[in-house]
Amino acid sequence: MKNYIDASLLDVLKGKFPTIEYDTEAKEPAVYVPADVLLAFMAFVKTNDKFLFDRLENVTAVDYKTYFEMVYHLFAWNQSPIDAEIERKNEYENMWLTVKVKIDNHDAPAVPSVTSVFPSAEYEEREVYDLMGITFTGHPDLRRILLADDFTGHPLRKDYKEIAPPYTPRVRREGGKIIYE
Amino acid sequence: MNEFETNEQPRTETYVLNMGPQHPSTHGVLRVELELDGERVIKVRPIMGYLHRGIEKLMESRTYFQCSPYTDRLDYISSMNNNYGYCKAVEELCGIEPPPRANYIRAICAELNRLSSHMVYIGSLANDVGAVTGMLYTFRDREDILDIFDLLCGARQTCNYIRIGGVAQDIPAGFDEKVRKFLDRVPDFLKEYSDLLESNEIFQIRLKDVSVMTAQEAMDCGMTGPNLRATGVPFDVRKVDGYGAYPDFDFDVPTGEHGDNWDRYEVRYKEMFESAKIIRQALDGMPEGDYMAKVPKMLRPPKGEVFSRTEGTRGELGFYIVSDGTNKPYRVHIRRPSFVSMQGLNPMCRGGLIGDAIAAFASIDPLMGEVDC
């Protein structure tokens, strides 16, 4: 990823939210945020004038068999019209930030919805709910989006078993006889 | 005085009208629940999933090379752009650098496909607002682009020409002249479209000041691409990220002012000129050399993950790939621009008439193959 956030800025985040974790050795470390400070963290990086991550580019989740991970990709664009009142300088770079939330409870995963901070996450969170089965608390309209309402199971989970197709008898002819299988 | 003669207002209530999934103006199999008060739209609920094939799940059980043809089937009228997005993501994951010639060929393919996709857009928008002839003209000219793709890779729609590390084969003899001949015609037929459509009063009334979106609304709905640029925000991933060969080309990012249907149409119309400009520059500056980088036959990317985005024809197309070190991706997520843009339908149609809702669907250009994935 071009222009990943600087280590010095990550230190600022760590100072503000002591419970977040990231790998200081890695080149582009994802920031692991505990679920209880997720909303405060997102609101902070969106509005604080050091960060201004006002574009939530991607929301998704990954099933690691024993736990889930929510993944948010944030982007700060230096010509964003929303913060026009904040004087942006030319040397201000575009920035990327990857935020992750680890959900240890694999049986009933739940995470706060970020729609109150980033309204554009609504459909993407519904998609995650539909295909991965993660519940978003505080989501305005949490329903299945791609699959039918009466569908059971969440196909993108690694332990998902395909539903067997409905039984159709196979018929073949052997000599003069018709054989049903 | 009988019971009917009272001064009370008649009791009114809203009702729900189902539009689709077989409605001809819903661009495939989109179903929309319109909550109506008389003929005014109160709320729009898009209901998708009729074309859901589970491509993200299918990709988990295929090798990285086998995944590539699935991306053709996402946004099936701009398959080159999808191939480009996927291959770029895998290349970033493995650290493969495509040769410059491949980058130029890719830019030509992506821009040709953007032209053809916008032609379908103009044709179907004209069709949906009542100018059925528009479709005939745009599809006539789109045929030339499909012929170029046929010459290039043998396929017209699902090309699978852009591969991991480069492109499938070098450009064939006669490609250059054919594209240049086509480019010479671009201003002519674009003028023909504008003469046919833009000077038409009905077309103007159906589009101007209808379904207006502000920049803030569009960003809150996650809109990208031409839909966002129509509101005046010059966000174009080709400029912002400058991937591939795009930093070498000189092109503008057209933006609108009002964010109405007309601007969404106009932005795409102007973009077609810019695409033609890029193709011409790429043909002129085509570097010599390989068209394919060295890619191992058995591709095992290192453990890790990548999020990579390109400017698709409908907005920002992102691929998030998690690798566990084997030859198959552990998880693939595709950020489909049409899917996220569908959130804009409700703010666009609210308060308008049913007929304007049709124009609004057409003007944000959703493609159900991409929405449903």
Indicate the SS3 state at residue B317.
Answer: strand
Residues B132, B134, B136, B138, Cα dihedral to 10°: -150
Question: Is residue B340 within 8 angstroms of chain A, CB to CB?
Answer: yes
Q: Is residue B191 part of a domain?
A: yes
User: Which of A52, A67, A123, A159 to mutate against chain B (most B CBs within 10 Å)?
Assistant: A123
pLDDT at A22: 85
The DSSP H or E segment spanning B153 is helix B133-153
Q: Which residues of B touch A128 (CB under 8 A)?
A: none
Beta-bridged to residue B33, according to DSSP, are B18, B45
Mean pLDDT within A50-69: 88
pLDDT in tens, B169-178: 898 988 999 9
Q: Is residue B2 part of a domain?
A: no
The whole model's pTM is what? 0.90
Q: Is the pLDDT of residue A90 over 50?
A: no
Q: What's the gap in Å between the CA of A178 and the closest CA on chain B? A: 36
Q: Which of A62, A63, A120 sits opposite B220 (nearest CB)?
A: A120
Please, how many CA atoms are within 13 Å of residue B314, restricted to the half-sphere of its CB?
32
pLDDT at A54: 84
User: Which of B333, B338, B372 to mutate against chain A (most A CBs within 10 Å)?
Assistant: B333
Write phi, then psi, for B315 (nearest 5 degrees).
140, -155
Q: Which of B232, B331, B343 sits opposite A120 (nearest CB)?
A: B343
> How many other β-carbons are positioned within 10 Å of the β-carbon of residue B315?
29
Q: Looking at this protein, which amino acid is placed at residue B232?
A: G
Question: Is residue B269 within 8 angstroms of chain A, CB to CB?
Answer: no
Q: Is residue B35 part of a domain?
A: no
pLDDT at B310: 92
Beta-carbon separation of A155 and B316 below 8 A: no
Q: Is residue B250 part of a domain?
A: yes
Beta-carbon separation of B219 and A54 below 8 A: yes
> How many other β-carbons are positioned within 10 Å of the β-carbon of residue A61?
27
Q: Is residue B270 part of a domain?
A: yes
Mean pLDDT for all residues in chain B: 88
Contact call for residues B130 and B206 (beta carbons, < 8 A): yes
> How many other β-carbons are positioned within 10 Å of the β-carbon of residue A93?
11
- Checking DSSP bridges between strand A68-76 and strand A110-112, what pairing results, if any? unpaired
Q: Is residue B338 part of a domain?
A: yes
Beta-carbon separation of A57 and B307 below 8 A: yes
pLDDT at B6: 64
Mean pLDDT within B122-144: 88
The DSSP H or E segment spanning B308 is strand B304-312
Q: Grade residue B1 by pLDDT with cuts at 50, 70 and 90.
A: low
pLDDT in tens, A61-73: 999 989 999 999 9
Beta-carbon separation of B340 and A155 below 8 A: no
Question: Is residue B221 within 8 angstroms of chain A, CB to CB?
Answer: yes
Q: Which residue has the tokens 């480019």?
A: B183
Question: Is residue A79 within 8 angstroms of chain B, CB to CB?
Answer: yes
Q: Is the pLDDT of residue A103 over 50?
A: yes
Question: Is residue A71 within 8 angstroms of chain B, CB to CB?
Answer: yes
Q: How many CB pairs under 8 A join A and B?
A: 77
Q: Is residue B268 part of a domain?
A: yes
* Number of domain units in chain B: 1
> How many other β-carbons are positioned within 10 Å of the β-carbon of residue A170?
7
Residue among B84, B68, B69, B72 nearest B238 (CA): B84
Q: What is the CATH number for B319?
A: 1.10.645.10
The domain in which residue B140 lies consists of 53-364
Q: Grade residue A6 by pLDDT with cuts at 50, 70 and 90.
A: confident
Q: Measuring CA to CA, how many Å separate B210 from each of B86, B201, B255? A: 36, 14, 17
Contact call for residues A96 and B308 (beta carbons, < 8 A): no
Query: Can you state the angle between helices B175-193 and B133-153, rounded to 10 degrees?
Result: 170
Question: Is residue A125 within 8 angstroms of chain B, CB to CB?
Answer: no
Express as a percent the part of chain B with pLDDT over 90. Answer: 35
Q: Which of A60, A98, A145 sits opposite B48 (nearest CB)?
A: A145
> Rounded CA gap, A157 and B226, in Å?
34
Residue among B331, B74, B66, B322 nearest A156 (CA): B331
Q: Is the pLDDT of residue B270 over 80?
A: yes
Mean pLDDT within A143-172: 85
Q: Grade residue B3 by pLDDT with cuts at 50, 70 and 90.
A: low
Q: Is residue B59 part of a domain?
A: yes
> Rounded CA gap, B74 and B335, in Å?
11
DSSP single-letter state for residue B320? E
